[in-house]
Amino acid sequence: MKSSKAIVQKRQQAILQILHDRLHVTTDDLAADLGVSNLTIRRDLQELAGQGFVKLIRGGANLVTGTLHEDPSSGSPPGSQASKQAIACHAASLVEDGDTILINSSTTAVQILSYIKNKKVVVVTNNGLALGMELTPGIELIFTGGEIRGSKKSMVGEMAINNLSRIKASKAFIGVSGICARGGIYTSVLQETAINELMLRRATQTIILADGSKIGQQNNFQIGSAKDASILVTDDSADPAAIYQLEELGIRVEKVLAASAHLAVDCQAEMLQVHV
């Protein structure tokens, strides 16, 4: 019985991780991804809805924004808000006055904008969520334009690609769903693959943002080689062996301590850097 409960909790944590990446899931896709029946997935989603993590819709569920502080077993899930904000805060410290930066549709990457202070920066993004953020006066925000996709409000398609291809940036901040030394850099959304791949090429320096659960992992769609990354910003839960392999490629890895929620307020005070 205890073992069965642990299996259910582990599966529900996996569902939350998928929701963290996609924001919306279907029962059919979850059943296929996790190798269980649709009935099992519906039960899991009903439990998670009862705990306030998801909103049930016909054929699936949506993530309830801002709820991923704790998982059903009372531990922080991979990609928790504290970890995401700590990673974003540290990434913002890498932005220099006068930079032109690219930010992709990642919910982690867009939070960088909240931490850029007292700098004049041009930000080019396909992330529609940036439109509702409060920015300091020094930030000039430019959208790629294009077709608005899904609850992430990412901008994709030919218009976005054409506009982005005319821009040369000093840095690109790319949130990803997986990065490993042998496989490369990955995203979980097909429609965003071309934009992410182009951002890698249009920036002098590429900073990859990924919580520890994504390090050493592959996902659905590859956007580049691991060697395309200049810097990786992650948290202290990342697999040391996978980190070592990435460092061997010449990537500078910088970790943040994200064990507690207060890092969302003052993440720079407890930053741990690991250099090549």
* Mean pLDDT in residue range 90-118: 95
- Residue 185 bridge partners (DSSP): 179, 224
The tens digit of pLDDT for each residue in 29-53 reads 899 888 899 999 999 998 888 777 7
Residue 89 · residue 267 · CB < 8 Å:
yes
Computed over every residue of the chain, the mean pLDDT equals 85
Q: In a 3-state reduction of DSSP, which class is residue 228?
A: helix
Q: Is the four-CA dihedral 170, 200, 229, 78 of positive or negative sign? A: positive
Give the whole-angstrom CA distance, residue 10 versus residue 77.
Answer: 10
Is residue 145 predicted with pLDDT exceeding 80? yes
In contact, 223 and 196? CB cutoff 8 Å: yes
Q: Is the pLDDT of residue 107 over 90?
A: no
Q: Which residues contact 100 (CB under 8 A, 6 or more apart)?
A: 121, 122, 123, 124, 167, 168, 169, 170, 171
Paired tokens of 248? 């061997």
Confidence of residue 124 (pLDDT cuts 50, 70, 90): very high
Question: What are 195-253's pLDDT values in tens digits?
Answer: 999 999 999 999 999 999 899 999 889 999 999 999 999 998 899 999 999 999 999 99
Average of per-residue pLDDT across 143-167: 91
Contact 251, 232 (CB under 8 A): yes
Query: For residues 35 and 163, what is the distance between their CA atoms, to the nearest angstrom?
Result: 41
Residues of the chain with CATH 3.40.50.1360: 81-273
Confidence at 80, pLDDT banded by 50, 70, 90: low
Q: Which residue has the higher pLDDT, 53 or 155?
A: 155
pLDDT of residue 188: 85
CB under 8 A, 24+ apart: contacts of 48-54: 48/12, 48/15, 48/16, 48/72, 53/16, 53/19, 54/19
Burial of 118: CB neighbours in 10 Å, binned 0-12, 13-18, 19+: exposed
Does 170 have pLDDT greater than 70? yes
- Taking residues 147-154, what's their average pLDDT? 80
pLDDT at residue 151 in the model: 64
Q: In the chain, which residues fall in CATH 1.10.10.10?
A: 2-63
CA 88/CA 70 separation, integer angstroms: 19
- 82 or 109, which is more confident: 109
Q: What is the pLDDT of residue 14?
A: 84
Other C-beta atoms lying within 10 Å of the C-beta of residue 185: 28
- Say if residue 181's pLDDT is above 70: yes
CA angle 228, 234, 235 (to 5 degrees): 165
CB 105 within 8 A of CB 124: no
CATH number among 2.40.160.20, 1.10.10.10, 3.40.50.970, 3.40.1440.10, domain 2-63: 1.10.10.10
CB 152 within 8 A of CB 81: no
Question: Is CATH 3.40.50.1360 correct for 81-273?
Answer: yes
Task: Give me the count of residues in the chain.
Answer: 276
pLDDT band at 3 (very low <50, low <70, confident <90, very high): very low
Could you give the maximum distance between any two Cα atoms of the chain, in Å? 59
pTM confidence score: 0.69
Which is higher by pLDDT, 275 or 95?
95
